[in-house]
Amino acid sequence: MRIKLAGGRVYDPANGFAGATRDLFVEDGRIVADPGHGWRPDEVIDVAGKVVMAGAIDIHSHIGGGKVNIARSLMTEDHRDHRFAGVDGLRSGSGVATPSTFTTGYRYAEMGYTAAFEPAMVASNARHAHMELSDTPLIDKGAYVMLGNDDLLLRLLAEDRGQQAVNDYVAWIMGATRAMAVKVVNPGGIFAFKENLRQLGLDEEGPYRGLTPRTILRSLARAVRELGVPHPLHVHCNDLGIPGNIETTLATVAAADGMPLHLTHVQFHSYGREGDRRFSSAAARLAELVNRTPTLSVDVGQILFGQTVTASGDTMSQHRNSGLADPAKWVCMDIECDGGCGLVPFRYRDRNFVNALQWAIGLELFLLIEDPWRVFLTTDHPNGAPFTSYPHLIRLLMDRSFREEKLATIHPAAAAATVLGSIRREYSLCEIAIMTRAAPARSLGLEDRGHLGPGAVADIVVYTEHADRERMFGTPDLVFKGGRLIARDGQVVAMAWGDTHVVRPGWDPAIERVIGEHMAGRTGLRAHSLRIGNDEFADGRGALVVHPCRKEGGS
Amino acid sequence: MDAAASTAAATATCPFCGLGCDDLPIVTGPQGPRPGDAGCPAAAAGLERWSQPVACTIAGAPAAPADAAVAAARLLAAARRPLYAGLCAEVEAVAAVLALADRTGGVIDHALSDGHLRNLAVLQDTGAVNATLGEVRARSDLVVLVGPDTVRRFPRLAERLHAPPGRALVCLGWTPEPGDLAGWTGAPPEVVEADLTALPDLAAALRALVAGRPVAGGSIAGASRPALEALAARLAAARYGIIAWAAGALPGPVPELAVQGLVELIRDLNRTTRCLGLPLGGAANLTGAHQVVTWQSGCGLRSAITADGPLLDPDHNAWSRVLAAGETDLVVWTATLGGPPVPHPRGVPVIAVAAPGTAFDGTPAVVLPAGRPGLDHDATVFRTDGTLALRLRAVAAGEGGHPPAARVLGDLLAALEEVRHAH
Ligand code: SF4
Ligand SMILES: [Zn+2]
């Protein structure tokens, strides 16, 4: 199948195009260089004057696995009030804050997203997570496995088994669970909560033989780098949501000692303790650090007002916040000597001082961090807001007057406490293309996604330029997945399946005995039971794509 | 059985009760696969059942699978309110049922979902604080087993808990009989006598005692006040207490209230220490059915696929109620892992997608035989705690078994599309 997209204004920052008028050529699902005269397209689509970008990539969105499914069960109102019939070959589904899997794929595709990554896969729940992702159509996906609160890593560190053993263990876990990256959530804190501690600072001695979060963090960051995993250690810092936690966040970056880090949902980690209410924005301090630290990237975890549910591996903070549950019900779970999960429904209110300031802090971060290659657009779906609010968020970033209109409606003390009103910056289309396409692809090591150069998978989005950026990004004219038209005018028109992306560093098989004996003793399960086979991805729904580790990893 | 005729042993993961033991030795001999030792009666019974044949039939007469699929598809095409039940099957099979249900509409329920729905109702009203089996095994210092079915329905639970120094067992409302705690090597359990039909009162009293409020009377819900005071003190003093119950077996007029009481007690205890629930259930992949129905529809068991999408309505959509009320005109019953007999409602045809050993109350309109997950084909089931999805690796693949239920149901969907197309 050959398609020519003629005359579009192409925003392809990875290849240096910022709105230049160019034709795109697609052959058998991939972009090809201008093939010249002899090439006969099966279809020519006139996109003259339209904005053309690669499919967007969500680097952090809780879309599948155990905690998401508990959240679906918990959020009965969300599923009762938002129901979708199965029509035209699509499957039925329900939910906005915690959409069912098919619905998740449809909603992403309708907004021009062609990939989303589940950032909090518990190793013991990996098979479940992948089954959900496999039932999520139209988009590529992958998952980050959570480490840093698992009994075995803490034991390896406390017993001083050496970095090589840690690397082998991390590599084995990534391979067994089919992970794309490694995430650490509240390093040591989830474990500590199991031992009945309620807070654990970066340098506090934890309950596991005095091991500090700093040691855990550094060792994981080093393992990820030495194994050559493209995406740096994905860090959910200690002390989420606590006023004054900016100190922990800054100290976490310092602890990495120049090793690459990705800090996730930094909005929840950029709080000061100033003012009458002892809650203030520290966005400027974090932004300043990001601006001068090229090895650091972040995603924001913007909050937007309305009903959602917070779903996190961080049981320590979820239990601490359970009193804020709205509706008043919540779930915490300790998981298999491995991790945990906590689900707390939440309604962010613009007339609530804290919520309103959280909203402003997220936007401050977006606008004060200068390099769009190192700040990614997320709401930490569903924690800050459902992913379907991205078009609204993009408008807030691109449209200063719209932003100021909204600022005027929030809690006045919060409006007075933010510098948001004085920030003139408006994101350009090119910057949006960077932060939602080129940059996440580069960060994850996806060579043939997130751009429109020859060889790229033909995930292409065509928009009609519109002053109302929410409308523009909410209803793209055309969305192609692998060269196939899957959505038109913001409606899914055809089915397709995306690929599953994984990284598989090698390990010394000697570690398998250590893991096997540990599990047999602790959980009573065979380590073999965690390993997901290739055959489990052979369901005819997209490929299992193994990405190479970076050579410069090594020592 | 002639031991010499037995062929090589395999180690299998067990799909029957929901504990998900992954160390079951299997011996395949002339009588089919059997557990290599008699370690678990439930596993032995499940495998034994699987050795009974099942035949492809239309109205009880032998039929070719392709003809039976067409006969079943005609029934489906004519049905206005199908009931998709049983679901005692691997995740892949339940997913295939959902694909079918999405084309016809209908009610979706698992044969054994009563207990699960009790836990879920409380979760949806209040929440939960739970632990997985591995966490219980590794960390608990006190395990309270509420009622005998915590071990009688889950025969290897006590063994799986094993007994490191410092772990104590309390049997609340029951006295263990020989064999109940097979494999438990720790100190003998302490028995706290109580009337389990009054569990909500018992839980309320424990909550009061934990909160330091006095409780009146010499005995509460069949338990002596001193015994309850001691139990409350133990729970509060435990570093990592576990309260285990089997909601499917809770007695009393409103078992949901018992679950509610236990969950609230657990939540209270977490203000000062750790205490977690271990809700036990999940026989015949009940947990896996819940998971896949929830992730695909956003609702869950006892929802209905309607013209406006899936709708959760547990009170209305219990399969036995739907049958009794005559609210269905076709039953599609899927069972590869046992469960209750396939029902035989008067005047309502039944399509059974059934593995060997499935019991029937009467003759279904169509029986479509399906393979045994983990023997004939690879398949996935969930452990009771919902965290571990376990892969069952076929140990008797290629030995002439039936095709996987997922394929049988996929063929049925294809046949349905053809029948509809022809009209
Ligand atoms: S306890 Fe349950 S899972 Fe374990 S072997 Fe017996 S029936 Fe199977
Ligand atoms: Zn997150």
pLDDT in tens, B323-346: 999 999 999 999 999 999 999 999
Using the predicted structure, report yes or no on whether residue B32 has a pLDDT greater than 80. no
A250 shares its domain with A199: yes
Chain B residues with CB-CB distance to A137 below 8 A = none
Q: Which amino acid does the sequence have at B188?
A: P
- Give the C-alpha separation, A219 to A166, whole Å: 8
Residue B28 falls inside a structural domain: no
Domain CATH code at residue A55:
2.30.40.10
Among the three residues B242, B262, B281, which one is the final residue of a domain in this structure? B281
Biggest alpha carbon distance in chain A?
Answer: 72
Which residues, in sequence order, are bridge partners of residue A312?
A342
| Integer Rg of chain B from CA | 23
Contacts of B243 (CB under 8 A, 6+ apart): B144, B146, B235, B262, B265, B266, B275, B276, B277, B278
B264 shares its domain with B152: yes
Using the predicted structure, report yes or no on whether residue A489 has a pLDDT greater than 60. yes
Residue A548 falls inside a structural domain: no
Contact A194 B273 (CB under 8 A): no
Using the predicted structure, report yes or no on whether residue A185 has a pLDDT greater than 90. yes
Domain CATH code at residue B125:
3.40.228.10
Least reliable range by pLDDT among A247-256, A419-428, B168-177, B394-403: B394-403
Instruction: Measure in Å the smallest separation between the Cα of B367 and chain A Cα atoms.
Output: 26
Which residue, among A297, A230, A166, has the nearest Cα to A501 in the 3D structure? A230
The alpha carbon of A208 and the centre of ligand 2 are apart by a number of angstroms equal to 25
B312 shares its domain with B402: yes
The alpha carbon of A480 and the centre of ligand 1 are apart by a number of angstroms equal to 48
A16 shares its domain with A57: yes
Instruction: Measure in Å the smallest separation between the Cα of A238 and chain B Cα atoms.
Output: 20
Q: Judge if ipTM > 0.95.
A: yes
Ligand with an atom nearest the CA of residue A379: 2
Residue A553 falls inside a structural domain: no
B interface mutation test: which of A67, A83, A316, A528 has the most B CBs within 10 A? A83
Write the Ramachandran bin of B191: left for phi over 0, alpha for psi from -120 to 50, otherwise beta: beta
Residue A419 falls inside a structural domain: yes
Q: For residue B390, what is the nearest residue in chain A, using CA coordinates?
A: A529
| Segments forming the whole domain that contains residue B157 | 115-281
Q: What is the DSSP string of A412-430?
A: HHHHHH-SGGG------HH
Average pLDDT on B92-96 reads 98
Among the three residues A445, A472, A490, which one is the final residue of a domain in this structure? A445
| Segments forming the whole domain that contains residue A309 | 62-73+122-445
**Residues A473 and A377 sit within 8 Å (Cβ to Cβ):** no
- Give the C-alpha separation, B14 to B156, whole Å: 11
A115 shares its domain with A256: no
Which residue, among A314, A550, A277, A528, has the nearest Cα to A413 in the 3D structure? A277
CB atoms closer than 10 angstroms to residue B81: 16
Percent of chain B with pLDDT over 90: 86
- Give the C-alpha separation, A209 to B58, whole Å: 66
From B16, B23, B184, mutation site for ligand 1 pocket: most ligand atoms within 8 A of C-beta: B16
Residue B8 is predicted with a pLDDT of 53
| pLDDT per position as a tens digit, A270-296 | 999 999 999 999 999 999 999 999 999
Which residues, in sequence order, are bridge partners of residue B82?
B330
Number of compact structural domains in chain B: 2
For ligand 2, a single-atom ion, the residues with CB < 5 A are A 380
Contact A135 B295 (CB under 8 A): yes
Using the predicted structure, report yes or no on whether residue A442 has a pLDDT greater than 90. yes
**Burial zone of A42 (CB within 10 Å; 0-12 exposed, 13-18 middle, 19+ buried):** exposed
Which residues, in sequence order, are bridge partners of residue A57?
A115
Residue A302 is predicted with a pLDDT of 98
B273 shares its domain with B299: no
H or E stretch at A512: helix A510-522
- Give the C-alpha separation, B345 to A65, whole Å: 38
Residue A554 is predicted with a pLDDT of 44
A179 shares its domain with A107: no
Using the predicted structure, report yes or no on whether residue B37 has a pLDDT greater than 90. no
Residue B21 falls inside a structural domain: no
Residue A177 falls inside a structural domain: yes
A252 shares its domain with A375: yes
Residue B7 is predicted with a pLDDT of 56
Among the three residues B281, B308, B332, which one is the final residue of a domain in this structure? B281
B interface mutation test: which of A81, A84, A87, A94 has the most B CBs within 10 A? A94
Residue A77 is predicted with a pLDDT of 96
**Residues B180 and B169 sit within 8 Å (Cβ to Cβ):** no
- Give the C-alpha separation, A60 to A299, whole Å: 8
Determine contact: A198 vs chain B, CB below 8 A: no
B293 shares its domain with B269: no
Instruction: Give the residue, by CA position, lying nearest to ligand 1 atom 2.
Output: B17
A317 shares its domain with A355: yes
B292 shares its domain with B323: yes
Which residue, among A476, A456, A479, has the nearest Cα to A26 in the 3D structure? A456
B132 shares its domain with B262: yes
Average pLDDT on B370-390 reads 96
| pLDDT per position as a tens digit, B52-69 | 999 999 999 999 999 999
Residue B10 is predicted with a pLDDT of 80
Instruction: Measure in Å the smallest separation between the Cα of A234 and chain B Cα atoms.
Output: 23
Report the mean per-residue pLDDT for chain B.
94
Residue A250 falls inside a structural domain: yes
Ligand 1, closest atom to CA B24? 5
Among the three residues B248, B281, B314, which one is the final residue of a domain in this structure? B281
A103 shares its domain with A249: no
Among the three residues A445, A466, A485, which one is the final residue of a domain in this structure? A445
**Residues A100 and A72 sit within 8 Å (Cβ to Cβ):** yes
Contact B134 A522 (CB under 8 A): yes
A211 shares its domain with A356: yes
Q: Which amino acid does the sequence have at A482?
A: G
Average pLDDT on A416-423 reads 98
Nearest to B134 among A95, A332, A525 (CB): A525
- Give the C-alpha separation, A331 to B122, whole Å: 11
- pTM of whole model > 0.95? yes
Instruction: Measure in Å the smallest separation between the Cα of A196 and chain B Cα atoms.
Output: 6
| pLDDT per position as a tens digit, A304-363 | 999 999 999 999 999 999 999 999 999 999 999 999 999 999 999 999 999 999 999 999
- Give the C-alpha separation, B409 to B422, whole Å: 20
Using the predicted structure, report yes or no on whether residue B95 has a pLDDT greater than 60. yes
> What are A87's two structure tokens?
């029509």
Which residue, among B279, B263, B236, B48, has the nearest Cα to B147 in the 3D structure? B279
- Give the C-alpha separation, B124 to B127, whole Å: 6
Q: For residue A539, what is the nearest residue in chain B, using CA coordinates?
A: B92
Number of compact structural domains in chain A: 2
- Give the C-alpha separation, B332 to B76, whole Å: 9
Using the predicted structure, report yes or no on whether residue B268 has a pLDDT greater than 50. yes
| Strand spans (E) along A162-293 | 181-185, 233-236, 261-263, 271-272, 280-281
- Give the C-alpha separation, A133 to A139, whole Å: 9
Ligand with an atom nearest the CA of residue A263: 2
A94 shares its domain with A134: no
Determine contact: B259 vs chain A, CB below 8 A: no
Using the predicted structure, report yes or no on whether residue B11 has a pLDDT greater than 90. no
- Give the C-alpha separation, B350 to B330, whole Å: 6
- Give the C-alpha separation, A398 to A402, whole Å: 9
Percent of chain A with pLDDT over 90: 97
